[in-house]
A = this chain, B = another copy of it.
Amino acid sequence: MTSIRKRPSHTLTELEGAALAVIQALNACTPYQVRQNFLSSRSREWSGSAGAVYPAIRRLHAAGLLRAKETEDARHSVRFSLSATGRKAFEAWLKDAERACGSGLDPFRCRADWWDILPAVDRRVLLRALARKLQQRLEMLEDLEARPDTEERRGLSLEMELHKTRLRWLERVLAEP
């Protein structure tokens, strides 16, 4: 009897799902392009390190989710696109409400419960510093939004709203006793 698999074949990691999304969007692209897409993305969710991207794409290919087409150029690089299985797996990842609605690992929320244990003065200083940093990120995102060449407008506006929510929360805590 085989033991229960940790990750059943139909479940993708977040990075794998995102890689499929990029490949789907660019419709046949090289691992390098996927990596560049991750690197240029303003979200620092992943480093987009070669050591993550190339093996992930190899895994997806080995699992039959990707079809490879070798190009003619001298570097004989390989362009990948989604197979039928791959499209199905990607759709499942995209529609996975359970994972989408989990909170993930939010470093802000993770610390929020503990800031209270600081001495009052320290805490106020820290919360104000956090508010400044959030404000700063928000302005950065606003600049990004203003640029006409920015993709990912959906995620951008969502991220800005989330930052604003954190800011409001900070201000509410600061306004307390």
Given A101-B137, A114-B21, A161-B165, verify A95-B126 contact (CB < 8 Å): yes
Q: What residues on B are CB-neighbors of A74 within 8 Å?
A: none
Q: Is A56 at the interface (CB under 8 A from chain B)?
A: no
B133 touches A97 (CB 8 A): yes
Q: Is A43 at the interface (CB under 8 A from chain B)?
A: yes
Q: Is A146 at the interface (CB under 8 A from chain B)?
A: no
A104 touches B101 (CB 8 A): no
Which residues of A does B touch, CB under 8 Å?
Answer: 14, 17-18, 21, 24-25, 43-46, 93-95, 97-118, 126, 129-130, 133-134, 137, 151-152, 154-155, 157-159, 161-166, 168-169, 173
* Cα of A115 to Cα of B134 in the assembled complex, Å: 27
Given A105-B14, A107-B14, A162-B162, verify A112-B154 contact (CB < 8 Å): yes
Which among B18, B109, B164 is the interface contact of A159 at CB below 8 angstroms?
B109
* Cα of A79 to Cα of B104 in the assembled complex, Å: 30
Q: Chain B nearest CB: distance from A143 CB in Å?
A: 17
B104 touches A107 (CB 8 A): yes
Determine the residue in chain B with the shortest Cβ distance to A138: B101
B94 touches A111 (CB 8 A): yes
Q: Chain B nearest CB: distance from A47 CB in Å?
A: 11
Q: What residues on B are CB-neighbors of A130 within 8 Å?
A: 97, 100-101
Q: What residues on B are CB-neighbors of A126 within 8 Å?
A: 94-95, 97
* Cα of A72 to Cα of B146 in the assembled complex, Å: 65
A–B Cβ pairs within 8 angstroms, 23 of them: A17-B110, A18-B110, A21-B113, A21-B114, A21-B117, A24-B117, A25-B114, A43-B110, A45-B105, A46-B105, A94-B111, A97-B130, A101-B134, A104-B104, A104-B105, A106-B162, A109-B162, A112-B154, A112-B158, A158-B169, A162-B162, A164-B165, A165-B165
